[in-house]
Amino acid sequence: MTEISVCIGTSCHLKGAYNIIQTFQQLIEEHGLHDRAGVKAS
């Protein structure tokens, strides 16, 4: 399984990290990749 790590520190948050996490989660769901990819905040 591929794990995508996205920084959620202060500067990352200000640059839109949460939008990136939501976009990755949406794309994983749309393409049925739950068993092949996941998103993790770090």
Q: Note whether 25 and 34 are within 8 A (CB).
A: no
pTM for the structure as a whole: 0.83
Query: Could you tell me the residue range of the domain that residue 30 belongs to?
Result: 2-41
Q: Could you list the pLDDT tens digit for every one of the 42 residues in the chain?
A: 999 999 999 999 999 999 999 999 999 999 999 999 999 999
- Between CA 9 and CA 26 the distance in angstroms is 22
Q: Which of 7, 9, 4 is nearest to 24 (CA)?
A: 4
Tally of structural domains, the chain: 1
Residue type, 13: H
pLDDT of residue 11: 95
